[in-house]
Amino acid sequence: MAEAKGRESDRLAALEQLDILDTPRDEGIDRVVRLIRQVFAIEIGIVSFIDAHRQWYKACSGLSADEVPRKDTFCKHVVASEEPLIVNDATKDPRFSQHPAVTGEDHIRFYAGVPLRTRDGHTVGTVCAIDRSPKPFADRDLQILTELAGVAMDRIELLRSAATDGLTGTLTRRAFREEADKLIKLAVRHQHELSCIVLDVDHFKRVNDTHGHAAGDEVLKAVASVCQSNLRASDVFGRLGGEEFAIMLPHVDAQGALAAAEKLRAAIAAQTIHGDFGQLAVTASFGTSPLSIKSRDSGTLLAQADAAMYLAKAAGRNRCVDWSGLDIRHHASPRQRVLKAGSIVLSDPDVRIDCTIRSLGADGAAVTVSDSAGIPSEVVLAVPGDGFEARCQVVARDRQNLELAFG
């Protein structure tokens, strides 16, 4: 048991090092899943990463979902064994014959999955070929799928060196964090102010679901353009994830950062976006965090601004919240960005919901779950790998994210 926990902890650490979760789509990875469908004449191809609670699709062709709970996946067996898994007919396999994906409308029958491994040998995800009809899968087929997994990992390693987001022209997440760390070192050395803003487009999933991904792309480009036209040349602007952006503001204190965020919020809300989909208006929620004696790295600054942003969403969206102005009882300590396996324990100690902890401090944490519906306002957060449990209060939430305050 201890060995399995250690292996999972190492696996999550390797996944965090890749910094790939929730990053934008990439044409190179999309091409891999299209090849999977064409080479094997199957309906579904997937390149996925698996964190503590979910399987997230970096690229998927043939299914509409972008993630599924880890406990509900065939791929959890690949991660557990670190070996390929071939299921020629799921209805005849006792492990999967009653699986909802088999008995339900997805009608899955054939599955072939291989580990997606880092150069150090950690299985951080899977590459899958899936079909709705039973199929044979020869050794040569398995070799080809394994090679395609290697192609996907090569592409992922290449993406780590990319500095510019192809869609919006902003810095990539990794490049942004590198620039942010440089600014922090300068601010500490010369003892000047520095602040961080994190913004997230409100109801972005609704835009994609209603108008399609092309409309979503136009929204992201428009939001990025508005921000860039309202920022100084010395400010650093990057895209952290699908619809989340971040800004570093040198020589700006907490009050100035909140004013800058409010200016951007108003500019985004005032814009009308035109396209083949017609006209769209969107808003964004903002969190800000100033550099302090307790937050002298980009991970902490981003985690705190991120937490403030989720509180802005919980308060009604289309607004700005400053971390330093929050209730001192809940947000006195700095936050560190992490990637840990945890559990939300409900009133019945036997009822636990798997979660991934995204940031952690002495007074609170930010966690992600597959679905936050039904989670009460008071829970216990358990981190089995650390032997940690704390009673906490849910102070903000959206469909999949919870902001927790300990005590």
Domain locations along the chain: 2-159, 173-325, 336-406
Q: Is 363 helix (H, G, I), strand (E, B) or coil?
A: coil
Residue 228 burial (C-beta neighbours within 10 Å; 0-12, 13-18, 19+): middle
Give the residues across from 246 on adjacent strands: 198, 238
> Which of these, 286, 356, 342, lies nearest to 319 by C-alpha position?
286
φ and ψ at residue 18, rounded to 5 degrees? -65, -30
Give residue 396's pLDDT: 85
The structure's pTM equals 0.86
Q: Look at residue 2 and tell me whether its pLDDT is greater than 70.
A: no
φ/ψ (deg, to 5) at 233: -65, -30
Counting every residue, how long is the chain? 407
Contacts of 387 (CB under 8 A, 6+ apart): none
% the chain with pLDDT above 70:
96
Q: What is the pLDDT of residues 124-148, one digit of tens each?
A: 999 999 999 999 999 999 999 999 9
**Which segment of 81-85, 93-97, 198-202, 335-339 scores lowest on mean pLDDT?**
335-339
Fold of 173-325: Alpha-Beta Plaits (3.30.70)
- Contact at 8 Å (CB) between 261 and 289? no
Provide the CATH topology of domain 2-159: Beta-Lactamase (3.30.450)
79 contacts: CB under 8 Å, gap ≥ 6: 11, 50, 115, 123, 125, 126
Q: What is the mean pLDDT of residues 177-181?
A: 95
The predicted structure's pLDDT at residue 386: 84
Question: Tens digits of per-residue pLDDT, 231-283?
Answer: 999 999 999 988 999 999 999 999 999 999 999 999 999 999 998 889 999 99
Two tokens at 114? 């291989």
Residue 95 and residue 111 in contact, taking contact as beta carbons nearer than 8 Å: no
What's the mean pLDDT in 216-224?
A: 96
| Cα 218 to Cα 198: distance, rounded to the nearest angstrom | 20
CATH class of the structural domain 336-406: mainly beta
Residue 330 has pLDDT above 60, yes or no: no
